[in-house]
């Protein structure tokens, strides 16, 4: 029991390499089927955060061995499988799966599963650049998190709402939401949520009111993101910083960031980031050659 809660807490805080041995020991040795199932899910998400999708899928397969006819367990695995599929450009099917599970879970009163599915469906919408729909989905997931008293998830969904506005080009509108997200993340003592909020809030501030302050915050955020290995936030920071450099006409910095962006582009697992990288690199090439 202690190993599970310790491993779960370590994973939630981004310390995946420390969490994995404890969670694997639970899977190998525990008699409690629910605890083994929960450990397998934590391990799957730990690997997914680091883009290790083969290992993530293998742990979902192991978790599936324990679901039997439990609709919540089966639905959770199906949502997480869809999330992995969405990172290989199978966005529409993944979105449809998550939306179906969201609606079924709501109808049955399974609110935790409904929140997870709503968030994953919204993430697919964001990748498809359906910004208004994505924001509605994250709002729904945030409300469900609040109703369940899950303040860590509430903070992360708040960040997603602000991030959606930022990718939509609405930096000024994103800033107050991301400021709230950062406050909530700090209150929840959640380093992953803090890092994500700092990266996006920094970009929002830089693009709307104070470039120096915003860049400093974004860079502090990405330093924390590297500590807890949040691949998405690290990738987003390069795109944000390149955009800021181009807006500021800082061509020397833009050249450095364009090279970094080009090196990272092939590893982007999120379609939205690939789209943004292509557009920014095209703009950077034009600006740097003129």
Residue 245 lies in a domain: yes
Q: Which residues of 148-168 are buried (b: 16+ CB within 10 A; e: fewer)?
A: eebbbbbbbbbbbbbbbbbbb
Residue 95 lies in a domain: no
Q: In the chain, pLDDT over 90 holds for what percent of residues?
A: 61
Residue 210 lies in a domain: yes
Residue 164 lies in a domain: yes
If one compares 220 and 15, the residue with the highest pLDDT of the two is 220
Reported as a single tens digit per residue, the pLDDT across 226-274 is 888 788 899 899 999 999 999 999 999 999 999 999 888 777 667 888 8
d(CA 169, CA 199): 16
Q: What is the mean pLDDT of the chain?
A: 90
Give, as one character, the DSSP assignment of residue 110: -
Residue 37 lies in a domain: no
Residue 66 lies in a domain: no
Q: Residue 156: which of 176, 175, 126, 177 has the closest Cα?
A: 177
pLDDT at position 10 is: 75
What total of structural domains would you count in the chain? 1
pLDDT at position 68 is: 66
Residue 231 lies in a domain: yes
Give, as one character, the DSSP assignment of residue 70: -
Parent domain of 287: 156-290
pLDDT at position 245 is: 96
Q: Of the segments 25-29, 92-96, 160-164, which one has the largest average pLDDT value?
A: 160-164
Compute the average pLDDT of residues 75-87.
Answer: 86
Place of tokens 């994505």: 134
Q: Is the pLDDT of residue 24 over 70?
A: yes
Reported as a single tens digit per residue, the pLDDT across 111-143 is 999 999 999 999 999 999 999 999 999 999 999
Q: Is the pLDDT of residue 27 over 70?
A: yes
Q: Which CATH number goes with the domain that contains 250?
A: 1.25.40.10
Residue 243 lies in a domain: yes
Reported as a single tens digit per residue, the pLDDT across 155-193 is 999 999 999 999 999 999 999 999 999 999 999 998 999
């Amino acid at each position: 029991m202690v190993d599970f809660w310790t491993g779960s807490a370590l994973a939630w805080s981004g310390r995946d390499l420390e969490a994995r041995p404890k969670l694997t020991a639970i899977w190998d040795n525990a008699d409690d089927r629910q605890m083994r199932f929960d450990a397998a899910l934590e391990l799957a998400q730990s690997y997914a955060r680091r883009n290790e999708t083969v290992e993530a899928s293998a742990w979902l397969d192991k978790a599936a061995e324990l679901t039997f006819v439990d609709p919540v367990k089966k639905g959770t695995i199906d949502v997480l499988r869809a999330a992995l599929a969405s990172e290989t450009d199978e966005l529409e099917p993944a979105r449809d799966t998550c939306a179906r599970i969201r609606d079924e879970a709501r109808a049955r009163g399974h609110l935790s599963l409904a929140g997870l599915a709503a968030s994953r469906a919204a993430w697919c919408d964001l990748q498809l650049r359906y910004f208004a729909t994505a924001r509605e989905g994250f709002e729904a997931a945030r409300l469900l998190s609040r109703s369940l008293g899950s303040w860590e998830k509430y903070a992360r969904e708040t960040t997603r709402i602000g991030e959606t506005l930022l990718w939509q080009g609405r930096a000024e509108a994103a800033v107050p939401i991301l400021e709230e997200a950062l406050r909530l993340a700090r209150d929840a003592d959640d380093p992953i949520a803090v890092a994500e909020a700092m990266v996006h809030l920094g970009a929002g501030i830089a693009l709307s009111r104070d470039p120096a302050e915003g860049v400093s915050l974004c860079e502090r955020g990405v330093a924390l993101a590297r500590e807890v290995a949040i691949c998405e936030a690290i990738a987003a920071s390069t795109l944000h910083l390149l955009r800021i450099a181009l807006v500021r006409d800082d061509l020397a910095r833009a050249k450095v960031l364009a090279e970094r962006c080009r090196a990272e582009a092939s590893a982007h697992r999120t379609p939205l980031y690939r789209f943004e990288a292509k557009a920014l690199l095209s703009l950077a090439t034009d600006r740097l050659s003129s």
